[in-house]
Amino acid sequence: MKVLSLLVACSVACPVVAEQKLPPFTEAVLPMGNYIYAVSIGPGGPDEEFGSNAANGGLYKLTPEGETEEIKLSDGQGLRNPTGMVRSGNQIVIVDGNEVISTAPDGTINWRQALDDDGVFLYDIEALDESTLLVSDFGRGVFFSVATQTGQIQPYNGDLHISGLARFAITETGIYAVSWSGDDAWDSALYWVPHSGNGDTATSLANGFGNLESVEIIDDTVVVGGYRGHEEHPTAKLLRVATDGAIHPLSAGSRSRGISDILFDGSSIWLTYFYNASYAELPSQAAQNLD
C-alpha cells in the first residue's frame, strides 16, 4: 500500500541493535518462540498489492541462525497480498486481501474465510480477546470482528468509517488507528475509536502526517510509523504522539526508508522496514529517545 494510486538503531541511551534481513517487501514480523515469522507481499512489491490475484505473497520463518524458510500452506492456495498477522493460541492468523487465514506455524491450515463484498482489502489484525480478533478494512474504512475458532467475520463498531484505515492498536477502552494518505499530501491522521458501536465516531487526535501505516502502544506511549513523517518533522519515520497531540520524532527507525509495522511484545519493540527488507528488535526505552 505504498502507492496510493494502486488503491536502527537507537541513539546514545540505547544499545545499537543490528537490522536483520527479510524477504523483499515484507509487511510485518511476528516473534514466536525461537523463530520470527514474516509476511511478504511478494517480488512485485507495491505494484502487485491490490492489483494481483496471483499467489505472489508468502509466509516465512526466520531461524536464530539467520536462515529464511518459506512456509507452504497446506491447502495449496498460497497468499496474494498478506499485510498483517497476529498470534492466536498456537495459530498464526493472517489477513490477505479479502481473506482471513488461520494456520499452524508449519503451514497446516485451520480455516480460511473470505469477505466477498466489493472493495474489501483487509489490512491489519489484532487480538481483542481469546475468542475474538479485529481486522481493519482499508478498502472501505471499517472494522470487522473475526471468531478465532471458526473465522466467522462480522461487522464491528456499527457504521463508523475512517477513510484510508490502515493499522491499529487495541486498548481496554478503545482503539488507536491510523489512516493512509495521498502520496504527496500531509493528511494522514491518528484516530481514537471507542469500542461502542452506538453511533460513536472516530476522533482525530493528531494529523499532518505523511503516509502513516502503523501504530502501537508502548508502555502507555502512543508511537506511529510511516514513510514521510510529519509536516513538522518530514524526515522522521517513527514518531511519538504526546497526550496533548504534540509530535516528537524518535531516533529509532527514523533513518530507514519507512516503517510498515510496529509490534510491542511487553519488553521489545519490533520494527519492520518495508523498503529496507529488514527488521530490528529494540528495547522499550526506544519509544522515549527523541531524534
Q: What's the pLDDT at 5?
A: 29
Q: Which three cell numbers stand for residue 157?
A: 463498531
Q: How does residue 159 score in pLDDT terms, banded at 50, 70 and 90?
A: confident
Instruction: Say if residue 47's pLDDT is above 70.
Output: no
Strand bridging mode 99-103 / 142-147: unpaired
Contact 192, 178 (CB under 8 A): no
Distance CA(215)–CA(217), nearest Å, equals 7
**Given this model, what pLDDT does residue 160 score?**
85
In this structure, what C-alpha cell is assigned to residue 17?
541493535
- Consecutive H or E run containing 53: none
Q: What is the mean pLDDT of residues 40-62?
A: 77
Residue with cell string 480455516: 111
Architecture of domain 20-156: 7 Propeller (2.130)
H or E stretch at 276: none
CB 38 within 8 A of CB 18: no
Q: How far apart are CA 282 and CA 159, in angstroms?
A: 37
**CA separation for the pair 24, 240 (Å, rounded):** 27
With cut-offs at 50, 70 and 90, classify the pLDDT of residue 12: very low
Cβ-based neighbour number of residue 203 at 10 Å: 11
The C-alpha cell of 282 is what?
Answer: 529494540
Band of pLDDT at residue 158, cut at 50, 70 and 90:
confident
**What distance in Å separates the CA atoms of residue 167 and residue 145, rounded to the nearest whole number?**
15
Identify the pLDDT of residue 75. 95
**Res. 16: pLDDT tops 60:** no
**Who wins on pLDDT, 160 or 247?**
247
pLDDT averaged over every residue in the chain? 88
What pLDDT is stored for residue 3 in this prediction?
A: 35
Question: H or E segment at 240?
Answer: strand 238-241
More confident residue, 166 or 184: 166
What's this model's pTM, rounded to 2 decimal places? 0.91
Q: What's residue 8's pLDDT?
A: 32
- In CATH, which of 2.120.10.30, 1.20.1250.20, 3.30.420.40, 2.60.120.10 is domain 164-286? 2.120.10.30
Find the angle CA(64)-CA(69)-CA(70) to the nearest 5 degrees: 145
Residue 184 has pLDDT above 90, yes or no: no
Return the half-sphere exposure (C-beta side, CA atoms, 13 A cut-off) of residue 15.
6
Per-residue pLDDT for 106 more than 60? Answer: yes
Structure-block grid coordinates of residue 218: 508502548
What gap in Å lies between CA 278 and CA 252, rounded to an integer? Answer: 14
Mean pLDDT over residues 40-46, rounded? 76
Percent of the residues in the chain that have a pLDDT greater than 70, as a whole number = 89
- Give the start-to-end residue ranges of the domains of the chain: 20-156, 164-286
Average pLDDT over residues 45-68: 79
- Do residues 138 and 179 touch, judged by C-beta distance below 8 A? no
What distance in Å separates the CA atoms of residue 27 and residue 33, rounded to the nearest whole number? Answer: 20
Residue 227 neighbours by CB distance under 10 Å? 22
Q: Is the pLDDT of residue 226 over 60?
A: yes
Residue 195's pLDDT band (cuts 50, 70, 90): confident
pLDDT at 266 exceeding the cut of 70: yes
Contact 137, 156 (CB under 8 A): no
Q: Is 21 helix (H, G, I), strand (E, B) or coil?
A: strand
